[in-house]
Chain A
Amino acid sequence: GQNIDQPTEMTATEGAIVQINCTYQTSGFNGLFWYQQHAGEAPTFLSYNVLDGLEEKGRFSSFLSRSKGYSYLLLKELQMKDSASYLCAVRDSNYQLIWGAGTKLIIKP
């Protein structure tokens, strides 16, 4: 079967750094996405990785290791507005997106 695992909830402090992990087992791999979803809103695209390594975009970075079936999203200089759910999604061999259940990130002052 296809499976994506993420922690259910994480807590971090404003100004700090947090790493949200995602492991996957899918039938094939054609890219991994991270989306952010604030409560009551729609998911919005954050990052895309298809090759191994780190992709940096401002305060957010995403890392991929295809051999390990592993990715992480790194958020630096946390702000209160970063409180949201973060969804990991993998595109399989049929170019279908398989979604994780999401990680709820709580930022405390």
Chain B
Amino acid sequence: DAGVIQSPRHEVTEMGQEVTLRCKPISGHNSLFWYRQTMMRGLELLIYFNNNVPIDDSGMPEDRFSAKMPNASFSTLKIQPSEPRDSAVYFCASSLADAPESSYEQYFGPGTRLTVT
């Protein structure tokens, strides 16, 4: 199993540019999560999808952030325009939520380290 795949692994861009992060969840998983991690704020949930439908996007910082999941095997997180304070590691995670009582632990991708100058 390839695990959760994210691309790019590193992204350096200038303030004002559009940034698109990509994620391929584990095949068969029906929930997908986008997180942001910084030293100051720790791990923050931005948005999560269940069966390709966005369920909770209350963690999305502002309108500059948007996420899509057009099918079960692909999701994107877009930042437009990017700002230096967006610099962080962005993780995608997936899980199999087959029943509420199951553990359905989340499997994390390797992350995208974003630097906005």
Contacts and interface: CB of A to CB of B under 8 A. Distances in A.
A31 B103 contact: yes
A45 B110 contact: no
Contact of B103 (A48, A96, A100): A48
Contact of B42 (A48, A50, A99): A99
Contacts of A31: 103
Contact of B43 (A50, A95, A96, A99): A99
A44 interface: yes
B105 A45 contact: yes
A29 B36 CA distance: 24
Given A31-B103, A96-B56, A43 B108 contact: yes
Interface in A87-109: 87, 94-97, 99-102
Contact of B107 (A45, A87, A94): A45
Main secondary structure of the interface of A (DSSP, over half): loop
A101 B44 CA distance: 10
B25 interface: no
A52 to B, nearest CB: 16
A46 B76 CA distance: 27
Contact of B100 (A45, A95, A96, A99): A95
Q: Which of B43, B45, B91, B111 has the most CB of A within 10 A?
A: B43
16 contacts: A33-B105, A41-B110, A42-B109, A43-B91, A43-B108, A44-B108, A45-B105, A45-B107, A50-B103, A96-B45, A97-B45, A97-B106, A99-B42, A99-B43, A102-B42, A102-B43
Interface of A: 30-31, 33, 41-45, 48, 50, 87, 94-97, 99-102
Among all A-B residue pairs, the 5 with the closest Cβ atoms = A42-B108, A45-B105, A48-B103, A101-B42, A99-B43
Interface of B: 42-45, 56, 91, 97, 100-101, 103, 105-111
